[in-house]
Homo-oligomer: A and B are copies of this chain.
Amino acid sequence: MIGSPGGVVIEGLALHWIKQMMDYPESAGGCFTSGGSVANLTGLYSGLINKAPWIKSDGLFGNKKPLVYCSDQTHNSITKALLLLGIGLKNIRVIETQEDFSINIDILKKTIENDKINTDNFPAIVIANAGTTNTGAIDDLKALYNIAKKNNTWLHIDAAYGGFARISKTTASELLVDINLADSIALDAHKWLFVPFEAGMVLVKNREDLKHAFSENADYLVDTQSVSEYQLMVNFWEYSFPMSREFRGLKVWMLINAYGREGLSNLITKNIFLAKYLATRVEEHPDLELMSSSELSIVCFRWRDSDEFYNKIIEKIQKNQKYYVSRTKLKGKSTIRVCIVNLKSDTDVIDRLIQEIENIVFTLAT
């Protein structure tokens, strides 16, 4: 018996629709998670157990050392996950990015070739970003897939922020078309599918990899085992780390029901066009400097001035509570970071944000 059979079916349906958005096969499995951190952890652990199956019995000891590859723009939840898994910072190969903040494929190839000389190690996992938290950069997914395939590594894509742009009517959808080549994908409906958190999720191409990683049995769990006849009647604790869990999938199921894939596609497309509008406004502005734009919805820019000044501008914007912008550093420079993922945002918000920044600078300068 399952604790909440109706909830399980609804979550299964929501995941099914998301799988379709990613063009993932029917054999794929998945589950909802608190957010991107746990989604990344779940995908990475599935990959680790697939590539180093001795870990469950022996632990990481007395065998080849698994190495993991990702770019210097990778979200720090990936680092946290790999440390939790016992991999260690020294075994995470942080690869430089190119001018557009996507991973440098040549350096990655050379690093892997170099690592393979030492047979105490083996390349276990390659991580792709789609897109990065800082700027929305999307790694070359096809190239990373080929590298992963050639070296027999797991390919995990952190698409927590950008993944849903695959269904948009923009260039982003082309850059994301190969997302289905991944062995696992982390997604966050609370990032760019317009629902409140927690609505993270992980998809794994072969659902058996998830089950192999997470299914452990016990006498008192007899009443919670999966009913194998019904494909949707899965017990999600067998496909993820936690046991009891909230009914996170309901809001995602309702959202897709209400808007449909087409409606969501239009909303994401609008966000991306708004980001392009903001980038254009910044470029045209005499005092603003565009630091990054991407095919997604993040735009980074700065007032042509010192870092100290910048922090004051951002803190003032945040204190005024009309716009939630954040700050980051790009190529050593502090920048204002705008990420447009609200379905109600429109061009007037962009215009007013720039006006607000002008006013703040004017006040700070006088």
Contacts and interface: CB of A to CB of B under 8 A. Distances in A.
Given A60-B60, A85-B85, A326 B37 contact: no
Interface string A80-124: 110111111111000000000000000000000000000000000
A326 B223 contact: yes
Interface string A16-49: 0000000000000000001111100100010000
Interface string A188-224: 0010000001100000000000000010111111110
A266 interface: no
Contact of A91 (B45, B59, B216, B328): B59
Contact of A241 (B56, B60, B80, B243): B80
Nearest to A81: B241
B246 A198 contact: yes
A347 interface: no
A200 to B, nearest CB: 9
Interface string A208-249: 000000101111111100000000000000000111111000
B216 A79 contact: yes
Nearest to A197: B244
Contacts of A219: 134, 328-329
A77 interface: yes
Range for the number of chain A residues in contact with chain B: 35 or more
For A59, A214, A329, the residue with the greatest tally of chain B CB atoms inside 10 Å of its CB is: A59
A57 interface: yes
A276 interface: no
A218 B34 contact: no
Number of copies of this protein chain within its complex: 2
A246 B38 contact: no
Contact of A86 (B1, B60, B223, B329): B60
A166 interface: no
Given A85-B85, A243-B37, A218 B60 contact: no
A58 B92 CA distance: 10
Contacts of A142: none
Nearest to A85: B86
Given A223-B318, A241-B38, A75 B218 contact: yes
B65 A86 contact: no
Contact of A197 (B1, B79, B84, B246): B246
Contacts of A86: 55, 59-60, 85-87
A87 B55 CA distance: 8
A85 B41 CA distance: 11
Contacts of A168: none
B216 A76 contact: yes
A61 interface: yes
A327 interface: yes
Contacts of A222: 326-328
Given A83-B56, A88-B56, A89-B56, A35 B243 contact: yes
A219 B60 CA distance: 31
